Chain A
Amino acid sequence: MSFEPILTKYRHEKDSHTIDFYRGHGGYEQAKKAIHDWAPDDLIEEVKKSNLRGRGGAGFPTGVKWSFVPKQTDKPKYLAVNADESEPGTFKDRVIMETDPHLLLEGIMISCWAVGINTAYIYIRGEMVHGYNQLVSACKEAYAAGFLGKGIFGSDFELDVTVHRGAGAYICGEETGMLTSLEGERGQPKLKPPFPAIEGLFGCPTVVNNVETLANLPFILEKGADHFRSIGPEKSPGPKLFCVSGHVEKPGTYELPMGVNLLTLINEHCGGVWKGRKLKAVIPGGSSAHVLHADECDVNMDIESLAAGGSMLGSAGVIVMDETTDMVDALLNIMKFYHHESCGQCTPCREGTGWLEKIVHRLHQGRGRKEDLDVVFDVCDRMIGKTICVLADAAAFPAMSFIDKFRDEFLAKCTNSDRSTAQATSGAGGVNV
């Protein structure tokens, strides 16, 4: 199958991040076309027709999300671009921001024109210093060229873009967490409803979109919704960035049509499992997704197929584990992450993530008890679906699926029967002074 990259076409070219390069390759023509030729409502319809679905993890149809924003409102409307990219195993948005920041800016212009927005914020993960610098200089160039600011392309459309750095919290990637953080508050999710489209940033209607989602827009306008829909499966079409890490020969970010087979991705594009070893398991969509056993990996990488396969596309962070992987160790790593990143407002998540880590930590030390595995499942049950955001679920899914699918490895760690020994030696207590 020959597929030409669309979003990352120029990533390896010199100066691909500059406005001159970008314009030299047809850049900003689609934004201009949008502002000159497209009525905003028609543009929203076109994006709906394209069936573009959010690339941030939840896969919500982008055009539909835009249509929730009230047309008549006396409040300002905002676009908040989710560039927090903190899901373990995920590094696709950074590729766009570092190598083609103007593509993102053009996508921002198109979405803001469609929804009637004059102010956009890009909330970028604090650790991504290079991406931040690239975005800031791209914005400067775009302002200087008159593509941002007042009277864009001779119209009376205005748009300001501000790049805002996060301070290193996974939870600020959750959309309402990101908005609270942007507002200057402690970054933690808010109760929904109200949804951001109605009451988001500073209490105003707000569109939250992922970087990769927005980067698709110039292409949709250029080739039309029908063409876009013809790439990959009908229900979740388009080009897609897959981040492959772990035990493969050639890890990296691969742009392929949505729906590529997971084994094809690993074996043909990434050079197969490294060191000639056998595949043991794959996390297909970032650490929050259910792990797939090697037997389950003949699955297409799109939203529907992965859901049917008992996992999710999520952020498309594909983590490959070879036959030597210690699954208890791998799970401990994931549990540490969620324990560390839970914002702590909801009781089940605050306490559950810590409890899970402590149990898995004890298992890892070989001090597990038989009943521990049942406790883990109970704890997960008591977390899932009972919190403000889905971080609790995201922590529970890997715990359940790792134990479910690799039970023998976990059972082998459950030889202890003495409660007091278990207590004395578990060392993952989050001491805070």
Chain B
Amino acid sequence: MSDSGAGMVSWVLNGDPVESPAGMTILEAAKAHGAELPHFCYHPGLSIAGNCRICLVETNRSPKPAISCSERISDGLEVQTHSEKAVEAREGVMEFQLINHPLDCPVCDKAGECTLQDYSFDHGPDESRFVEKKNIRHTKDLGPTIKIWGNRCIVCTRCIRFCDEISGTGELCVVARGDRSVVDVFPGIPIDNPLAGNVVDICPVGALISKDFMFQSRVWNNEHTETVCGGCARGCNVTVETNEGFVKRLMPRENTDVNDWWMCDFGRYGWRYAHDDRRVSVPRRGAEAVETELEAHRDLGELVRGAWGGSKKVAIVVDPFLTCEEAHLVGRVAAGTGATVGGWLPPSGDELTFPGKFKISGEKCPNRRGVEAVLGQEVFGSQAKAVESMLNSGGVDLVIVFAGFPNADCPDALASAVGKATARVAFTLFDGAWSEAADLVLPSASVFEKEGTYVNEDGRLQRVRSKDRPGDAQLAQPGLHSASISSPWVTSELVALQRALVHVGDAERSLSAAGVFRQLADSNEHFKGQSHRGIPATGVPLGGLAPAGVGEGSES
């Protein structure tokens, strides 16, 4: 066998000599060599419990099978994952797991993504030898968002370790002993912490159930979109699951540079606004709906054309929910019209850092840093002040306001300032003082309807994706309100701004978000060399941006 390099261990996996970095567990090292070993209680983000025993393998260390999630590799170790002994050990564990399990997959929300189901298929018996009565354990609420179906619990303690180690809140425990063991909360202390939803994700079975998702859809019918959360500047990597165009749930996506395996409940359950009936979904002239979206975009184009070349006094107010691509298009409008661009940020909240290092940002918007990278460090600082006083001093011919805030109101002062301009355009999610003051109201897209990129608080460039790619779909079908086609989605600012630029004659045709990003990468130092395709699934640190907090707006 070859000499192990420094810190490397030579061992044998199913007869093949392999090398792995010292200190790894058999399970991790085997995975790195392409052999996935089954596991219930092991989770890469939690301490090792070693209780489920499904990861048993045969080794040359001892006649007893070893649990691969806890035993570490060493020189000369020989591991058999599929020997008779290993297979028999796993089959034994699977049989035990199933004897008291209710096997109620048809009504279980976890079905389709349940580890017990999967392993049962791979390692389980096809017939039960258990003819006794099954045990009954409690079904109850554990907190405002979570229920437990105790009969399904396999007592892997993942959820308990999460609350002990990651959220640091310790609400969960095992009560009773032996096969009566089940997860519970302490009397009068429900599980109610900002990270609680994660315990449902990591429950390998359908014991912990999210009330938000309960009976909402079968998971195999859901379509998956890998994107980031728009709830705060952390930019947690998430998968949005949709079914027939409706969001069903958000699940965290592993990214050890941002959110590990977790997300917060604010982000997780913060999608309902996207399907709120009160959303502005149809463009309006004042109070009157515009026949087609295209017509509304032509109106916008007309206003921009009137101001093209710097003949008019133009102000643009941006929001930090715009993608980098949309900010780039705003920049082009501003360049053509000589507009002054400022922006406003939603009120900040508390920054929370948990014992497991997970962080919720105090900045309750996803792309302040991206918009700054495109439109200037001071866009939410001194430029914001400049725009406000410009509006207040009167004589502004055209103002365009972006108000894509799901949960915040535009400051009154700004709304009244907007009202003083001659022509007023507002992109908005919901009606408010600024849209009532506007003579052209256009829908803002929610983060679930956007295609493009965001830059998180650490300066990490990440992809925002939409299931229905409005950036593409609506480009192909211009004349229609997006809300009236099969999906409930609205057309994003990306589309509206490009149509306006085409109308003005500044662009030949509308591009996809990737195309707009290419323009941005060509013209902006920070984005140089980047492309949508080149951005890894977990994002990439953006060049020239300081890690965190810098560019916090110059005022105060």
- Residues on A close to B: CB < 8 A? 169, 171, 186, 191, 339-348, 350-355, 358-359, 362, 369, 371, 375, 378, 381-382, 385-388, 419, 422-423, 426-433
Nearest-neighbor residue (CB-CB) of B40 within chain A:
A347
Nearest-neighbor residue (CB-CB) of B129 within chain A:
A375
- Taking a contact as CB atoms under 8 Å apart, the answer to whether B131 and A423 are in contact is yes
Stretch at the interface among B12-20, B133-141, B290-298, B430-438: B133-141
**With A348-B53, A348-B92 in contact, do A342 and B70 touch (Cβ < 8 Å)?**
no
**With A385-B64, A386-B65, A423-B131 in contact, do A432 and B51 touch (Cβ < 8 Å)?**
no
Q: In the bound complex, what is the Cα–Cα distance between A342 and B181 (angstroms)?
A: 10
13 A–B contacts, CB within 8 A, in A order: A186-B174, A343-B177, A344-B174, A346-B51, A358-B132, A382-B88, A382-B92, A382-B96, A422-B131, A428-B132, A429-B133, A430-B135, A433-B138
Q: Interface residues of B, CB < 8 Å — how many? A: 43
Residues of B close to A348: CB separation below 8 A: 53, 92-93, 96
- Taking a contact as CB atoms under 8 Å apart, the answer to whether B93 and A344 are in contact is no
**With A352-B96, A385-B64, A432-B176 in contact, do A345 and B130 touch (Cβ < 8 Å)?**
no
Residues of A close to B132: CB separation below 8 A: 355, 358-359, 362, 422-423, 426, 428-429
> Given A350, A369, A429, which contacts B155 in the complex, CB threshold below 8 Å?
A350
Nearest-neighbor residue (CB-CB) of A424 within chain B:
B133
- Taking a contact as CB atoms under 8 Å apart, the answer to whether A191 and B155 are in contact is no
Q: In the bound complex, what is the Cα–Cα distance between A431 and B99 (angstroms)?
A: 15
> Given B50, B63, B89, B180, which contacts A432 in the complex, CB threshold below 8 Å?
B180
B173 within 8 A of A: yes
**With A191-B70, A345-B49, A432-B137 in contact, do A340 and B96 touch (Cβ < 8 Å)?**
no
Residues of A close to B109: CB separation below 8 A: none
Q: In the bound complex, what is the Cα–Cα distance between A426 and B130 (angstroms)?
A: 12
- Taking a contact as CB atoms under 8 Å apart, the answer to whether A345 and B51 are in contact is yes
What is the minimal beta-carbon distance from B151 to any residue of chain A, in angstroms? 10
Q: In the bound complex, what is the Cα–Cα distance between A433 and B135 (angstroms)?
A: 10
- Taking a contact as CB atoms under 8 Å apart, the answer to whether A351 and B179 are in contact is yes
Residues of B close to A359: CB separation below 8 A: 132
- Taking a contact as CB atoms under 8 Å apart, the answer to whether A432 and B174 are in contact is no
> Given A169, A341, A350, A387, which contacts B181 in the complex, CB threshold below 8 Å?
A350
> Given B56, B133, B137, which contacts A386 in the complex, CB threshold below 8 Å?
B56
- Taking a contact as CB atoms under 8 Å apart, the answer to whether B131 and A432 are in contact is no
- Taking a contact as CB atoms under 8 Å apart, the answer to whether B173 and A354 are in contact is no
What is the minimal beta-carbon distance from A416 to any residue of chain B, in angstroms? 10
B154 within 8 A of A: yes
B396 within 8 A of A: no
- Taking a contact as CB atoms under 8 Å apart, the answer to whether A342 and B51 are in contact is no
Within 8 A of A (CB), among B48-92: 48-54, 56, 63-65, 70, 88-89, 92
- Taking a contact as CB atoms under 8 Å apart, the answer to whether A354 and B49 are in contact is no
- Taking a contact as CB atoms under 8 Å apart, the answer to whether A432 and B182 are in contact is yes
What is the minimal beta-carbon distance from A194 to any residue of chain B, in angstroms? 11
**With A351-B97, A422-B131, A432-B136 in contact, do A191 and B180 touch (Cβ < 8 Å)?**
no
Nearest-neighbor residue (CB-CB) of B182 within chain A:
A432
Residues of B close to A339: CB separation below 8 A: 178-179
Please classify the interface of chain B as helix (H, G, I), strand (E, B), loop, or mixed, using the class held by over half of its residues.
loop
B157 within 8 A of A: yes
Q: In the bound complex, what is the Cα–Cα distance between A100 and B93 (angstroms)?
A: 46
B100 within 8 A of A: yes
B449 within 8 A of A: no
Q: In the bound complex, what is the Cα–Cα distance between A433 and B468 (angstroms)?
A: 47
- Taking a contact as CB atoms under 8 Å apart, the answer to whether B96 and A169 are in contact is no
What is the minimal beta-carbon distance from A334 to any residue of chain B, in angstroms? 15
B378 within 8 A of A: no
- Taking a contact as CB atoms under 8 Å apart, the answer to whether A419 and B136 are in contact is no
B171 within 8 A of A: no
B457 within 8 A of A: no
- Taking a contact as CB atoms under 8 Å apart, the answer to whether B178 and A342 are in contact is yes
B451 within 8 A of A: no
B95 within 8 A of A: yes
Within 8 A of A (CB), among B164-205: 173-174, 176-182
Q: In the bound complex, what is the Cα–Cα distance between A430 and B54 (angstroms)?
A: 24
Nearest-neighbor residue (CB-CB) of A375 within chain B:
B129
- Taking a contact as CB atoms under 8 Å apart, the answer to whether B177 and A341 are in contact is yes
- Taking a contact as CB atoms under 8 Å apart, the answer to whether B179 and A353 are in contact is yes
> Given B50, B89, B178, which contacts A343 in the complex, CB threshold below 8 Å?
B178
- Taking a contact as CB atoms under 8 Å apart, the answer to whether B51 and A388 are in contact is yes
What is the minimal beta-carbon distance from B19 to any residue of chain A, in angstroms? 24
What is the minimal beta-carbon distance from A153 to any residue of chain B, in angstroms? 44
Nearest-neighbor residue (CB-CB) of B92 within chain A:
A382
> Given B52, B130, B155, which contacts A355 in the complex, CB threshold below 8 Å?
B130
- Taking a contact as CB atoms under 8 Å apart, the answer to whether A423 and B133 are in contact is yes
Residues of A close to B97: CB separation below 8 A: 347, 351
- Taking a contact as CB atoms under 8 Å apart, the answer to whether A347 and B99 are in contact is no
Task: Write out, one digit per residue, whether chain B residues 316-350 have a CB within 8 A of any chain A CB (1) or not (0).
Answer: 00000000000000000000000000000000000
> Given B50, B51, B178, which contacts A353 in the complex, CB threshold below 8 Å?
B178
The 6 closest A-B pairs by CB, nearest first: A382-B92, A344-B181, A351-B96, A432-B180, A354-B179, A358-B132
Residues of B close to A432: CB separation below 8 A: 135-138, 176, 180, 182
